[in-house]
A and B are shown apart, each in its own frame.
Chain A
Amino acid sequence: MENILEIKNLHTYFFSDEAQVKAVENLNLKVKKGEVLALVGESACGKSVSAYSVMGLIDSPGKIVKGEIIFKGQDLLKLPKKKMQAIRGQDISLVFQEPGSSLNPLYTIGLQIDEMIRAHNKTASKEDRGKRILELLNKVGISNPQSRIKDYPYNFSGGQAQRIMIAMALSCEPKLLIADEPTTSLDVTIQAQIMNLFMRLRQELDFTLILITHNLALCSEVADRVAIMYAGRIVEEALIEEIFKNPLHPYTKALFASIPQAESKKARLKVIKGAVADPSAKPSGCHFHPRCPLAKNRCKVNYPEYREISPGHSLSCFEI
């Protein structure tokens, strides 16, 4: 199938006086048109930074040092600012991690959706935009939208705010939606509702979805394919059934082993032995080697090549 997005060799670093944080390092990822791809990894492994890189939102002290991001046949990193601005929100949309702080507290939600539609569709009349906003709010399940468009973000709960963010992200009918842990900051019942909403909207609107998450259990219900990320790189990638049946990378196995605990407590996936690699001082060789039960000497020296071991199933590990 056709790739809607292809990330090649992406390096995104943050520079400060003390350290150089290699948040994303040599990231390679292909996203197929129409699929739901789950991007899974522990906190600080660079999931959000990857998403921001695709959106062109990396700002000083961050910098995309190297790489290509191919979308619709063009390298987004080579586009002039104006072109990229037109793509943001129109072709690729992002739903942020914390809905509460993603809305500007000083403007009504109506205005905040309206300005986005206006930015991408200069010809839409005020009435058309008004109608569209109501339709969107209805779609994401905000009851009584007519009376709520004049409300400010503080009038909404976290779940409602996330619904509004989703409505906004979909307002220009993007081809690709990146949802960055859209449910992490919400409580469990609301989480399920929001995920159902995503799935329903995908049926209706037919967009490709990159779902960034901590939660492997959640992936099994919604994703077609999974990419596992560790310390700024993809370490394993496979279809969802394959990864559940046959996880190969030691890190993926460790993640699966941690699922029961992760569910019983709402703690994040910190149950794997050892600490997450510090992105400003990553271990040499394979970054996972200090925590890896299979680690040999060569793992400490060289980074294992990313290779396909069966059709659609790739990983980087010497020992498999």
Chain B
Amino acid sequence: MATYIIRRLFFLIPLLIIMSFIGFLAINLAPGNYFDTLKQNPQISRETISEYEAKYHLDKDVFTQYFYWLVNVSKFDFGYSFAYKIPVIKILKLRLFNTFILSLSVILFTWLIAIPLGIYCAVNQHKFSDRFFSFLSFIGLSIPNFFFTLLLLYFASKTGILPSGGMHSLGYEDLSGFGKFIDLSKHLVIPTVVIGTSGIAGLQRLMRGNMLEVLRSQYVMAARAKGLSENRVIYVHALRNAINPMVTIFGGSLSGLLSGAALTEIICSWPGLGSLMLEAVRSQDLFLFAGDLLMTGFLLIIGYILADILLAWVDPRIQYQ
């Protein structure tokens, strides 16, 4: 198992290299760079700019730039953000933490609602409650996130119950530990609900489908034939089997979360990796962009590896050699 994980991590390296290179290429193909804006500023001299360009090898071609960047990254030096004027790593750390908080909140929200709901609907198939929740799910799936966010933000600003965007209120630093937690939680509500709703709908349906399939299987019938209680048949025999495929989905959803959250992060001005990506592209802040891309890619793959480990843990048939 350990060797398997190490091997997976090892294969991850070429993948990340390819991804970051494409990123580099893309931002280079876009017209202009960060210094073009600086050049408009009469207070900054030509010499300073050339100095900068030379220092970061920006006067060279894209391959050379990329090569130097890669060498630095291997030494955990992610370069310097032109816009923030601090090392990229410092920004990434903070943003990673913020995205992590939002993701965690979304995961808890979606899974804790979707899984029990899916089980409930499968067990009560064709009854009114099943139809009702399936209908809700359908609505949840069909509302565009963007529209839903605006709706909720409008509601928030009208009623003032919830903060309309951002991560902290003014004066956050002066709050007590518990006060900080409450403040953060309030800010989490809208982005979590928005990102989570479509997720809940999809997951609920998947879980319901899995559960229905398993409930029809022969070993579930055999478990009933043994004279086990209905609860044991459903929650011990069927559920374990229906949950298993969800573990793979879990890894995928970690990854999907990171990319799908970007839009919501931007609209709710949540300072995470997703909104950072947009900022970096806009200001053509090359190293910040590359660092963000690398971090996001890394998280995506970690998500899948995590899912693999979980799957091996829950399914005795899977053994990694």
Contacts and interface: CB of A to CB of B under 8 A. Distances in A.
Contacts of B227: 85-90, 116, 119-120, 172
Interface string A130-157: 0000000000000000000000101000
Nearest to B219: A104
Nearest to B240: A106
A168 interface: yes
A94 interface: yes
A119 B240 CA distance: 19
Contact of A57 (B224, B228, B316, B317): B224
A48 to B, nearest CB: 10
B219 A103 contact: yes
Contacts of A119: 226-229, 232
A98 B230 CA distance: 22
Interface string B82-100: 0000000000000000000
Nearest to A100: B218
27 contacts: A55-B225, A57-B221, A60-B126, A85-B228, A87-B227, A88-B224, A88-B227, A89-B225, A96-B221, A96-B222, A96-B225, A101-B217, A101-B218, A102-B218, A102-B219, A104-B219, A104-B240, A105-B316, A106-B314, A107-B237, A115-B226, A115-B236, A116-B226, A116-B228, A120-B227, A152-B317, A168-B226
B241 interface: yes
A154 B237 CA distance: 16
B317 A154 contact: yes
B315 interface: yes
A172 B225 CA distance: 13
A104 B223 contact: yes
Contact of A94 (B125, B225, B229, B237): B225
A7 B138 CA distance: 46
Interface in B7-49: none
Nearest to A86: B227
Contact of B219 (A57, A90, A101, A115): A101
A277 B221 CA distance: 27
A208 interface: no
B248 interface: no
A232 to B, nearest CB: 20
B269 interface: no
A93 interface: yes
Contacts of B217: 101
Interface in B108-145: 125-126
Contacts of A96: 218, 221-222, 225
Given A105-B241, A106-B240, A106-B241, A88 B218 contact: no
Contacts of A94: 222, 225
A85 B219 contact: no
B217 to A, nearest CB: 7
A85 B237 contact: no
B242 to A, nearest CB: 11
Nearest to B126: A60
Contacts of A89: 225-228
A115 B232 contact: yes
Contacts of A98: 218
A106 B224 contact: no
B225 A93 contact: yes
B101 to A, nearest CB: 34
Interface size class of B (residues with CB under 8 A): 20 to 34
Contacts of A165: 222
Contacts of A107: 237, 240
A172 B226 CA distance: 10
B105 interface: no
Contacts of B126: 60
B283 interface: no
B229 A85 contact: yes
B244 interface: yes
A115 B317 contact: no
Interface in A70-120: 81, 85-90, 93-94, 96, 98, 101-107, 115-116, 119-120
Contacts of B315: 106
A152 B218 contact: no
A154 B232 CA distance: 22
Contacts of A102: 218-219, 222
B146 to A, nearest CB: 39
B143 to A, nearest CB: 31
Contacts of B236: 115
A107 B227 CA distance: 17
Nearest to B224: A57
B288 to A, nearest CB: 46
B281 to A, nearest CB: 46
Contact of A115 (B228, B240, B241, B316): B228
Given A88-B226, A90-B227, A94-B225, A104 B237 contact: yes
Nearest to B316: A152
A132 to B, nearest CB: 15
Interface in B291-321: 314-317
A125 to B, nearest CB: 20
Interface in B191-228: 217-219, 221-228
B210 to A, nearest CB: 13
Nearest to A174: B227
A230 B114 CA distance: 46
B239 to A, nearest CB: 10
A55 B240 CA distance: 25
A81 B231 CA distance: 13
Contacts of A60: 125-126
B305 to A, nearest CB: 22
Contacts of B125: 60
